[in-house]
Amino acid sequence: MRAFSYERAASVEAAAQAAAHNPESRFIAGGTNLLDLMKLEIEKPSHLIDVNGLGLDTIESTAEGGLRIGAVVRNTDLAAHETVRRDYGVLARALVAGASGQLRNRATTAGNLLQRTRCPYFYDPNQPCNKRLPGSGCSAIGGITRQLGVVGTSEACIATHPSDMAVAMRALDAIVDTVKPGGERRSIPIADFHRLPGNTPHIETELQQGEIITSVVLPPPIGGKHIYRKVRDRASYAFALVSVAAVIQPDGTGKVAVGGVAHKPWRIEAAESELPNGARATVSILMADARPTDQNSFKVDLLERTLGAVLAGARG
Amino acid sequence: MQFDKPATTNPIDQLKVVGKPIHRIDGELKTTGRATYAYEWHDPDMQYAYGYPVGAAIAKGQVISIDSSVAKQAHGVLDVLTTLDLGDLKKGKMNTARLFGGKQVQHYHQAIAVVVAETFEQARAAATLIKVEYAPEQGAFDLRSELDNATMPDPSTEPESSTGDFHAAFVVAPVTLDAEYSTPDQSHSMMEPHASIAAWKGEEVTVWTSSQMIDWWRSDLAITLGIDKEKVHLMSPFIGGGFGGKLFLRVDAVLAALAAKTVGRPVKVALPRPMMPNNTTHRPATIQRIRIGAEQDGKITAVAHESWSGDLPGGGPETAVMQTRLLYSGDNRMTAMKLATLDLPEGNAMRAPGEAPGLMALEIAMDEMAEKLGLDPIEFRIINDTQVDPEHPERPFSYRDLIGCLRLGAERFGWDKRARPATRREGSWMIGMGVATAFRNNLVMTSGARVTLDQEGIITVETDMTDIGTGSYTIIAQTAAEMMGVDIEKVAVQLGDSRFPVSAGSGGQFGANSATSGVYAACVKLRDAVASKLGFNSADAIFENGQVRVGNRSFPLSEAAGAEGLVGEDKIEWGKLAETHQQSTFGGHFVEVAVDVYTGETRIRRMLAVCAAGRVLNPITARSQVIGAMTMGAGAALSEELAVDMRRGFFVNHDLAGYEVPVHADIPHQDVIFLDETDPYSSPMKAKGVGELGLCGVSAAIANAVYNATGIRVRDYPITLDKLIGRLPEVV
Ligand SMILES: Cc1cc2nc3c(=O)[nH]c(=O)nc-3n(C[C@H](O)[C@H](O)[C@H](O)COP(=O)(O)OP(=O)(O)OC[C@H]3O[C@@H](n4cnc5c(N)ncnc54)[C@H](O)[C@@H]3O)c2cc1C
Ligand code: SF4
């Protein structure tokens, strides 16, 4: 870990300004991902700006009947919130499927969205990795890829986004609200928030330097059955091989986003029209462009079967 | 004391303290954070410096140059020691790969430098400033592609055995099985990383470390440093797990000692978790072929077990065929091991080396064979039980009640509820039961102890035995209390210090039986000393309630001790009983699993182990050993695998996020039953090892349960869902 300086910003705007001034700075929220990466010098900020204590820790209803979730609301608190449990069950279930109780007590909404990939080569600074060191090459391709992406991948990177929470938010059409260094606010639909790797896998989101997430807004509740199904090698405390976040209506229509397969929570709205026709039809559209490796081609099959379980659960 | 005749009645048989469910005497220290682990020694008068190790970034080749000039200028840095500064250090006797020194890189993350700084953070930061130039070489990393190059290992490993004519018998056997199995490389993944502190006083060095085997480490550290063994003092009173990963000297101790000498201050070095799987040893992967031939009635007539594994040059094979020489009857048999040269990190002992992977294969084969014969797998094993070493029928087992384990287990587990494969469903769960035999030899090692009686009547035991979380402190205290006729509160136990008599150490499940026998021997000496001080004939003296009594004369022990105290010191040495009698431990593992019909996720529902391992010295600590081992076997069956990058030659998932050991949610319900037995051939304690028995066979019981649930036979561990998914029933 490099030596770094630390400040507690006085306001959201001041935090954004401070970050814009120093391109080597990072915001720190729960620190559960950033600090681990700093210890390995995968992240090397010279300056940390603490975004706790800026009043971003509340959950409130919006005028439209939706829910505004502050950027530093802890994953534990969000999962336990009454409205979330009642109206956005898929989100509560996704949250508690992630990490461990201790981590969720620290982890925040914004930090969870921005957590970085778990590709093992990304974590080993001896190995080439385009995401860690742009242009150095991708050592995962041709290596150990069982956990890695099957769709939306590129020649430069086949990593996945590891979040569970984000997959549920994608199914719920969440909006990410931010403040830019100049004070300008913007609202980014979660569909556009994370990027595919392309030739620039080190650029993971639409955020600009210094742009700070203030909240995530959920649209008004849409009813339906809320299911989050995470499939993994052990019963807890592991990242998803695949996961499915679904809101299924009594007539069999619904919304579905999937995790563990791509550089971002994966959803193709067009696939959802096939939901009444079952998992196979839906997944054949979701995974139409899949380019799995020998080691992870099982994920396509697994996804179909997992969605099958979800749809059966929604009926039952 | 020479143990060369079966034990007769002795004071241990009173079982006033031994055999009782006594909680760990060191438990309070541990749960209150007062047990000092290696890295935690803190003497306010010592100015500790911190060393951070740097591992090689290539798997094989040479270090051409190391530029540490920038690192040396970094804040707080005291010095940087590189492998090129030292030339070739001598290698410890027990190490295959060199730990440090010289330009050769033999495996990934082999240590090439240590940065020493005022703080841990400064040392870690500076470590990334070191620039290394390598000349990489092509290595061999894929066991399967090296099979044809594999050769017969050193004869000292007894790589082959043969009795009767296997080939002839196999060809004519009416029912046969010929199958291949594989087990992956595995990592010990104990909680406490390798860690050491070294401090020099003149030419003498004291090392606080985390070691299972004090004397092996001491000898090998002396060799590596090029100093007399007498100049090395080692301390390892508390150890946060080892599983074989701390049997042999590791680089943290070497780097701490070298760095402390260089900077003239005590230095602490711990291995960072991501460096452990590639820097240290691991359980090597195996490929095994098993052939079994039987008569229609289930009698095995032919059995062959072959195993291939790999290691660095100079290393040894994973002895996966050993149990097959002893476990089941059959007149025509052969076993063979082949060893390939691989440039992966050093393969070496991990809990139940040999038997763990060997039974993972053999006990699936037995299940397959039972099915072919139309026999219940328990009955098939019972039909082929043997009371003699099948390769040397003149050699009986000292005591063997495998049948008792299997029968009792079947009854308690509800084995009769087991259905035909893939027929039992609960919602989307496919339910199955599996069974396997547990088998591990009872090894023994010379073990010494010193026992002192003081004028307060306190008995102090000193031995360099280690407690790796197993309960050594407690069973040693129980042994001394039983022998001297005092309450356990009157016994103090000091372990893990090289100034104490050399013990068996912890490994090979020899620790408990050997070390307590050593304490027994020392206590016999102390009883003699007490008796002779009081003018008694030792054989007539009765030690009880803190008194020693002959006829109606009795004295408190404290009085016998007097101001100067009394000492008994001895060691247990083993005669030839193991040559005439095969000593082994036995068990039956029973497992119920549920496999999700959609996803293929396997979740264990309940586990039972019935063990027969001689006298149980303490049912609490023995049970802990077995449930811990069952948990380890669950990981081996379902998730643990070091993933080898065949191009770059290293274990890719080298941290606890990528190498998945079981978590609590994976282990819902475990039961352990010990058969009430004693084995007078094993030791004066009449006990045997249990520490590894619980791991042996359990993974195969899980594999067999998965088969029973799904009808899908997976012969390559771990049984992850991708190996099932293509063969699960249609669901969508
Ligand atoms: C052992 C382990 C297991 C885990 N398992 C899972 C799992 O199964 N599923 C899962 O989903 N997650 C898992 N996680 C990841 C965990 O969810 C994330 O570490 C956590 O959500 C990150 O939140 P944080 O607040 O701690 O982020 P931090 O570490 O503080 O920050 C992460 C990133 O977000 C940036 N950031 C933080 N706040 C803001 C803001 N307001 N605006 C702009 N940028 C910001 C930081 O600069 C940093 O780059 C696991 C983590 C660990 C360590
Ligand atoms: S897949 Fe992406 S993160 Fe992984 S090594 Fe390749 S570039 Fe790096």
Q: How far apart are CA A313 and CA A298, in angstroms?
A: 22
Check pLDDT > 90 for residue B724. Answer: yes
Q: Strand B175-183 and strand B566-574: pairing?
A: unpaired
CA of residue B715 relative to chain centroid, distance:
24
Ligand 2 neighbourhood includes A225 CB (under 6 angstroms):
no
Chain-centre distance for alpha carbon B401: 24
pLDDT at position B53 over 90: yes
Ranges assigned E (strand) in chain A: 5-8, 25-28, 47-50, 59-61, 67-70, 175-179, 185-189, 212-218, 225-231, 242-248, 254-259
Would you say residue B88 has pLDDT above 90?
A: no
Which whole number is the average pLDDT over B454-473? 97
Mean pLDDT of the A218-224 span:
98
Give the 3-state secondary structure of A63-100: CCCCEEEECCCEHHHHHHCHHHHHHCHHHHHHHHCCCC
The torsion angles phi and psi of A10, rounded to 5 degrees, stand at -85, -30
Can you give the pLDDT at residue B571?
98
**Domains of chain B, residue spans:** 2-15+445-574, 376-442+583-727
Residue burial B87-123, b: 16+ Cβ < 10 Å; e: rest? eebebbebbbbbbbbbbbbbbbbbbbbbbbbbebbbb
Task: Give whole-number Cα distances, B508 to A115, B185, B244, B345, in Å.
Answer: 43, 19, 8, 21
Q: Ligand 2 pocket, A42 CB below 6 A?
A: no
Gap from A297 CA to chain B (nearest CA, Å): 9
The CA-CA-CA angle for residues A137, A140, A145, to 5°, reads 160
pLDDT (tens digit per residue) in B669-715: 999 999 999 999 999 999 999 999 999 999 999 999 999 999 999 99
Q: State the DSSP H helix or E strand holding residue B435, giving kind and residue range, or none if neither.
A: strand B429-441
H/E/C letters for each residue in B216-227?
A: HHHHHHHHHHCC
Give yes or no: B692 in active site.
yes
Q: Which residues line ligand 1 (CB under 6 A)?
A: A 26-34, 36, 51, 71, 98-99, 103, 106-108, 110-112, 114-115, 162-165, 212-213, 239; B 657
Please state the φ and ψ torsions of residue A43, each to the nearest 5 degrees. -105, 135
* DSSP reduced 3-state for B494: strand
Q: Cβ–Cβ contacts within 10 Å for residue A57, how many? A: 17
| DSSP code per residue over B625-673 | HHHHHHHHHHHHHHT--PPEETTTTEES--STTTS----GGG---EEEE
Which of A7-16, A149-158, B83-92, B220-229 is least confident?
B83-92
pLDDT of B368 > 90? The answer is yes
Q: Is the ipTM of this complex over 0.95?
A: yes
Which token pair is B721?
A: 């869902």
Say whether pLDDT at B732 is over 90.
Answer: no
- What pLDDT score was predicted for residue B558? 95
Q: Ligand 1 test: best mutation among A7, A11, A32, most atoms within 8 Å of CB?
A: A32
Partners of B65 in the β-ladder: B133
Cα separation, B267 vs B123, whole angstroms = 11
* pLDDT tens-digit readout, B524-567: 999 999 999 999 999 999 999 999 999 999 999 999 999 999 99
Interchain proximity B731–A308, CB inside 8 Å: yes
Q: Which of the listed residues A116, A118, A122, A202 should we mutate to test ligand 2's pocket, taking the one with most ligand atoms within 8 A of CB?
A: A122
Q: Which residues of A touch B121 (CB under 8 A)?
A: 1
- What pLDDT, on the 0 to 100 scale, is given for residue A166? 98
Q: What distance in Å separates residue B51's CA from the closest CA in chain A?
A: 15
Region B57-83 average pLDDT: 98
Span A135-148, average pLDDT: 98
Question: Could you report the per-residue pLDDT of B504-517, keeping only the tens digit for each?
Answer: 999 999 999 999 99
The residue of A234, A243, A304 whose CB has the most chain B CBs within 10 angstroms, and thus the best one to mutate to test that interface, is A234
What value does the mean pLDDT of chain A take? 97
Position A303: which residue type?
L
Tell me how crowded residue B415 is: count the other CB atoms within 10 A of its CB: 19
The CATH number of domain B376-442+583-727 is 3.30.365.10? yes
Cα B267 to Cα B285: distance, rounded to the nearest angstrom: 36
DSSP codes, B271-333: --GGGHHHHS-BBPPEEEEEEEEE-TTS-EEEEEEEEEEEESTT-----TTGGGGTSS--SEE
Q: At what angle do helices B511-534 and B472-484 cross, to 10 degrees?
A: 30
Contact A139 B596 (CB under 8 A): no
Query: What kind and span of H or E run contains A106?
Result: helix A101-106
Q: Which residues pair with A48 in a beta bridge?
A: A6, A26
Task: Give the C-alpha separation, B10 to B699, whole Å.
Answer: 39
Name every chain A residue with its beta carbon within 8 A of the beta carbon of B274.
40, 123-124
Residues B91, B19: contact at Cβ < 8 Å?
A: no
Please count the other Cβ atoms lying within 10 Å of the Cβ belonging to residue B554: 14
Residue A240's pLDDT is what? 98
Mean pLDDT score, A61-87: 98
CATH number attached to the domain at B2-15+445-574: 3.30.365.10
What is the mean pLDDT of the segment spanning A213-239? Answer: 98
Residue B357 pLDDT class (50, 70, 90 cuts): very high
Of A98, A93, A49, A54, the closest CA to residue A73 belongs to A54
Distances (CA, A) of A21 to A7, A14, B108, B239, B693: 13, 11, 40, 49, 62
Confidence of residue A117 (pLDDT cuts 50, 70, 90): very high
What is the H or E stretch that residue B208 is in? strand B204-209
The pLDDT of residue B87 is above 90: no
In the 8-state DSSP scheme, what is residue B250? -
CB-based contacts of B83, cutoff 8 Å, min separation 6: B63, B66, B100, B101, B102, B103, B111, B112, B113
Spatial CA neighbour of B344 closest among B99, B102, B60: B60
Rounded Cα distance between B265 and B143, Å, is 44
3-state secondary structure (DSSP) of residue A282: helix
Q: What share of chain B has pLDDT > 70, as a percent?
A: 100
What is the Cα–Cα distance from B56 to B272, expressed in whole angstroms?
14
Residue B598 has pLDDT above 90, yes or no: yes
Among residues B371, B640, B641, B692, the one annotated as catalytic is B692
Contact B553, B485 (CB under 8 A): no
**Chain A residues inside the 8 Å CB shell of B665:** 234-237
pLDDT of residue A316: 81
**CATH topology match: B2-15+445-574 vs B376-442+583-727:** yes
Number of other CB atoms surrounding residue B464 within 10 Å: 28
Interface of A with B in 226-265 (CB under 8 A): 231-239, 241
CB pairs under 8 A between A and B: 105
Beta strands in B575-641 (DSSP E): 584-596, 602-612
Chain A residue with minimum CA distance to B129 = A2
User: Which among B125, B603, B663 is the nearest to A237, CB-wise?
Assistant: B663
Find out whether B404 and B612 touch, Cβ atoms under 8 Å: yes
Average pLDDT over all residues of chain B: 97
Please compute Rg for chain B using Cα positions: 27
Listed in order, strand segments (DSSP E) in B84-159 are 104-105, 111-117, 131-136
